[in-house]
Structure 1
Amino acid sequence: MTGKDSFLSNLVSTPKNFFRRELLPLLSDLRLAIALLLAIAFFSISGTVIEQGQSPAFYQANYPEHPALFGFLTWKVIQVIGLDHVYRTWWFLSIMILFGSSLTACTFTRQFPALKAARRWKFYDQPRQFEKLALSAELDRGSLSTLTQLLQQRRYKVFQEGDTLYARKGIVGRIGPIVVHASMLLILAGAIWGSITGFVAQEMVPSGETFQVKNIIEAGSWALPQVPKDWSVRVNRFWIDYTPEGRIDQFYSDLSVLDNRGQEVDHKTIHVNQPLRYKGVTFYQTDWGVAAIQVKLNNSPVLQLPMSLLDTGGRGRIWGTWIPTKPDLSEGVSLLAKDLQGTLLLYDAKGQLINTVRSGMSIDVNKVKLTITDVVGSTGLQIKADPGIPMVYAGFGLLMLGVVMSYFSHSQIWALQEGDRFYVGGRTNRAQVAFERELIDILDQLAHSKAEVPVVEAQPIA
């Protein structure tokens, strides 16, 4: 090989050697995995404590510069770092990808070799080898065939070669950690996929109207294909149930999903904690409002006037509108409402209370008969799409299975028959006391025909 060929060979092999000797041990380091997991937990907590997806004005009002929360946390810090949308920031996704890489490296460098070693049987053909075991015994007589039967009764898988024997059970306990790692990778993949493809929207829709999802407040970089375009939702009816004391008990929205031809393809009445799900998009009942008031002036047709939410300085929610009482709009009255079934208040142009009225009632105002036909409510819907949720749910299910599998003890027993001496020993990775009792019981049954009780020597675990 020429010098040039040798140089090119080294150049090609250098990245591979760097990955094996430097990068792979670093990624599989338990300390790095713990540090990354703590970082994910910390920023996840921050995303729970700090409100996500709010307007800049919200953060300026709640996280002012003077005084700064904890001396440093201001609205500028929140928006520059991205703490107002933690789960979709590039650095949070990078931490999760790095943690997934660490789990993968640990699985292939530690868990798979451990499973391979556990599946490979090795016979002990020297008495001194039994001294290294956690539990060992030397009998003056023994039978490999009898020991094989006793072990098989206890669900051991037995391998025998000449005068040596090896038995194991609980290999599933070695598979458990691999399943746990796989489940965590699946959860991470689902979380990352949901972050870049999911979206959150909010809509305030009057009763009786049809809408498509448009008011998106938070979305991933690949979320556009998830936004529904070939179907819409109609709010058939919105209503509120009140308690006898007048407080809101529950509010409901009767929704229909319509295809692009206007045909109903799904229907459900939703309320809090009972959403509508259709094609991966979930509609939650989260808010309500007063959308409009329907009135008649004398014998006129029913007029629908929009209601607006008024600024009360945090002293409750009140909606208001102005009702003209003359065709040229020169006179009118103001109407206020605080709910859909309560009393409506009428004020004149000077701000004086004229009267109170309820839905279905009539009153004379400015020489005009004003009839309140209906109060139209609007439903507040939060709309979410997260394609990663099935992966996350599957990951958690797999995680529970892996944890259960990890509780199985991987027990190993060796035996050697050499002349008139019979050596037996074993070890386990957990439940040491139960394993000692099991092995002593086996030895007692082996020596049951003899008066001499076998001497068991407990050795420290190597």
Structure 2
Amino acid sequence: MTFFIKPWQGLQNYVKSDLLPFLADLRLAISLFLLIALFSISGTVLEQGEPLSFYQENYPESPALFGFLTWKVIWLLGLNEVYRTGWFLGLLILFGTSLTACTFTRQLPALKAARSWTFYDRPRQFQKLAFSAELQGIDLTTVQQHLSSHGFKLFNQDNSLYGRKGLAGRIGPIVVHGSMLIILAGSIVGSLVGFKAQEMVPDGSTFQIHNIIDAGPWAKTDTDTIQKDWAVHVNRFWIDYSPTGRIDQFYSDLSIINDQGDELARKTIHVNEPLRYGGLTFYQADWSISEIRLRLNNSPIFQIPMASLSQQLGAQLWGTWVPIKPDMSDGISLITKDLQGTLMIYGSDGLPLGTTRVGMATAINDSLTLNILDLVGSTGLQIKSDPGIPLVYLGFGLLMLGVIMSYVSHSQVWVLAAGDRLYFGGRTNRAQVSFERELLAVLADLQAQPQPDASLSPETPSPETPSPETPAVSALDPSSK
């Protein structure tokens, strides 16, 4: 039995004397925080979740960016998905452990000490305080009344008095530590079970999420799990343009519908104004032109897809080819740069034939008239699932509250009545000057108390000798001036 007890006691001693002091060390916490901040910045600067070919093309070995940053370094260290790497999650866990150790070994004991009260029973104890004074002719009850009016919570014991206020200032650091732990927990949850998807959906279409581009190792990304019995319908997509022709804002009117087609929710989204439903957030992220609707002479309406030409021409353009002969041996090309309705027409020889607009009939040749009916846009949606976001929001809310609480000064005062003298002193953990001014105001109020008529005294004291009935400050610590 002793064989098992001694190793266990040795482990306990190691945890208490070595491990906990190491984890609670402020220098360790600051170092971990700076490392987390540094790698978080790298995750913002470096593109995340791209394929290997992307990094090989943009971060070649020669010349290496900054002399060392190549695709091999990025891929080896996992900087392509830094927030999900084991070492980054390990840093978060270690930082959280350090905060927890500091909370239990320092902050909670400090709060426990602040909540308890101690009484001074010897005058020399007041000499150690930042502010102290020696009074005459004032009783303990009068002091108690004045301190109570200044918000101090008071405790009595015989001829001693202890008061405190601002206990929230001691609770604040604990709230800050707890809020940071909640934020870390939310970040870890989001990185493990969250996912990101992108969908390009034509105006008027209904879709469910299929194009998952990034997901945590524990994320459930099958459609039946994500959306179950509902889908998203794009009621309308449109773009507002400025007078100069630049894009001002683009919008998507989205409806959440069930299997029977009933509308469960609806919202018009735009940049920085997403739709949230079923634990998913739908952001307006991009747009495109999906197809064109046109008629040749009196033909039926043709609905022809349009393709992006950005890679070929180096600009944001969309184009399509329209046959103008039944055997498709000849045709024209239509190219546009936006949804404002202007299109450029090119012949089969590549020469421009002019321009046209939506709703306008244009003669291509003597026997053919082109009538553009509509340009159909596609909304680019980014869909995110991050179950850790509520925890992160809660953590940041508590963090702001804890920071505000931490600015509250925790002030303490002691009073001791010894014979005809009364010893008065106090200390605070911050705002020392304001605290001393407050105590000086208390002393001034005490001195302003009405005194007995001197003529009733059997013996009139000399001016150099203060009367026991007359309050006076006989000693004031220089630091309080």
Amino acid at match of 1:150: H
What is the SS of the residue equivalent to 1:379? strand
Amino acid at match of 1:370: L
Report what 1:324 is aligned to. 323
What is the SS of the residue equivalent to 1:40? helix
Amino acid at match of 1:39: L
Which of residues 139, 143, 147 is equivalent to 2:143?
147
RMSD, matched Cα? 2.2
Output the CA distance in 1 between the equivalents of 2:135 and 2:242: 81
Amino acid at match of 1:15: L
What is the SS of the residue equivalent to 1:113? helix
Output the CA distance in 2 between the equivalents of 1:435 and 1:451: 26
Report what 1:427 is aligned to. 427
What is the SS of the residue equivalent to 1:224? coil
Report what 1:30 is aligned to. 26
1:239-276, Cα deviation, whole Å (9 max, x unpaired): 22223332222222121111233221111222222222
2:159 counterpart of 1:163: yes
What is the SS of the residue equivalent to 1:384? strand
Report what 1:224 is aligned to. 220
Amino acid at match of 1:457: L
Amino acid at match of 1:70: F
Report what 1:62 is aligned to. 58
Report what 2:289 is aligned to. 290
Amino acid at match of 2:472: V
1:296-339, Cα deviation, whole Å (9 max, x unpaired): 23433222111111145674211111212233322222222211
What is the SS of the residue equivalent to 1:33? helix
Q: Aligned runs of 1:16-95 on 2, under 5 Å?
A: 16-95=12-91
Shift of 1:460: 6.9
On the 8 A contact 1:172/1:406 being kept in 2, the answer is yes
Amino acid at match of 1:413: V
On the 8 A contact 2:319/2:333 being kept in 1, the answer is yes
Amino acid at match of 1:387: P
Shift of 1:60: 3.0
On the 8 A contact 1:122/1:166 being kept in 2, the answer is yes
What is the SS of the residue equivalent to 1:221? coil
Output the CA distance in 2 between the equivalents of 1:388 and 1:93: 14
Amino acid at match of 1:396: F
Aligned residue pairs total 457
Report what 1:352 is aligned to. 351
Shift of 1:127: 1.7
What is the TM-score with the length of structure 1 in the denominator? 0.93
Amino acid at match of 1:116: K
Output the CA distance in 2 between the equivalents of 1:219 and 1:80: 19
Shift of 1:16: 2.9
Report what 1:120 is aligned to. 116
What is the TM-score with the length of structure 2 in the denominator? 0.89
On the 8 A contact 2:137/2:471 being kept in 1, the answer is no
What is the SS of the residue equivalent to 1:234? strand
Which of residues 127, 131, 135 is equivalent to 2:131?
135
**Residue 58 and residue 356 in structure 1: after superposition, are their counterparts in 2 closer, same or farther (change >3 A)?**
same
Amino acid at match of 2:329: S
Amino acid at match of 2:45: V
Output the CA distance in 1 between the equivalents of 2:186 and 2:400: 17
**Residue 27 and residue 96 in structure 1: after superposition, are their counterparts in 2 closer, same or farther (change >3 A)?**
same
Output the CA distance in 1 between the equivalents of 2:271 and 2:313: 24
Output the CA distance in 1 between the equivalents of 2:168 and 2:337: 63
What is the SS of the residue equivalent to 2:67? coil
Q: Aligned runs of 1:410-425 on 2, under 5 Å?
A: 410-425=410-425
Shift of 1:53: 2.8
On the 8 A contact 1:131/1:459 being kept in 2, the answer is no
What is the SS of the residue equivalent to 2:18? helix
Report what 1:402 is aligned to. 402
Shift of 1:451: 5.0
Q: List runs of 5+ in structure 1 lacking aligned partners.
A: none
Runs of 4+ in 1 over 6 A off after TM superposition: none
Amino acid at match of 1:395: G
On the 8 A contact 1:444/1:454 being kept in 2, the answer is no
Output the CA distance in 2 between the equivalents of 1:241 and 1:420: 84
Shift of 1:131: 1.6
1:388-420, Cα deviation, whole Å (9 max, x unpaired): 222111111111111111111111111222223
Q: List runs of 5+ in structure 2 lacking aligned partners.
A: 452-468
Output the CA distance in 1 between the equivalents of 2:164 and 2:250: 61
2:474 counterpart of 1:455: yes
Output the CA distance in 2 between the equivalents of 1:240 and 1:376: 12
Amino acid at match of 1:138: E
Output the CA distance in 2 between the equivalents of 1:329 and 1:31: 75
Amino acid at match of 2:433: V
Moved more, 84-93 or 211-220: 84-93
Amino acid at match of 1:250: Q
**Residue 246 and residue 440 in structure 1: after superposition, are their counterparts in 2 closer, same or farther (change >3 A)?**
closer
Moved more, 411-420 or 311-320: 311-320
Output the CA distance in 2 between the equivalents of 1:245 and 1:443: 71
On the 8 A contact 1:142/1:417 being kept in 2, the answer is no
1:65-110, Cα deviation, whole Å (9 max, x unpaired): 2211111112222222122222222221111111111111100100
On the 8 A contact 1:444/1:453 being kept in 2, the answer is no
Shift of 1:458: 2.1
Amino acid at match of 1:335: L
2:6 counterpart of 1:6: no
What is the SS of the residue equivalent to 1:329? coil
Amino acid at match of 1:241: D
**Residue 57 and residue 142 in structure 1: after superposition, are their counterparts in 2 closer, same or farther (change >3 A)?**
same
Report what 1:241 is aligned to. 240
On the 8 A contact 2:316/2:337 being kept in 1, the answer is yes
On the 8 A contact 1:203/1:381 being kept in 2, the answer is yes
Report what 2:267 is aligned to. 268
What is the SS of the residue equivalent to 2:328? coil
Shift of 1:364: 4.5
Report what 2:465 is aligned to. none
Which of residues 187, 196, 199 is equivalent to 1:191?
187
On the 8 A contact 2:153/2:164 being kept in 1, the answer is yes
**Residue 364 and residue 22 in structure 1: after superposition, are their counterparts in 2 closer, same or farther (change >3 A)?**
same
Output the CA distance in 2 between the equivalents of 1:8 and 1:223: 43
On the 8 A contact 1:237/1:253 being kept in 2, the answer is yes
**Residue 263 and residue 41 in structure 1: after superposition, are their counterparts in 2 closer, same or farther (change >3 A)?**
same
Report what 1:306 is aligned to. 305
On the 8 A contact 2:132/2:477 being kept in 1, the answer is yes
**Residue 154 and residue 314 in structure 1: after superposition, are their counterparts in 2 closer, same or farther (change >3 A)?**
farther
**Residue 49 and residue 115 in structure 1: after superposition, are their counterparts in 2 closer, same or farther (change >3 A)?**
same
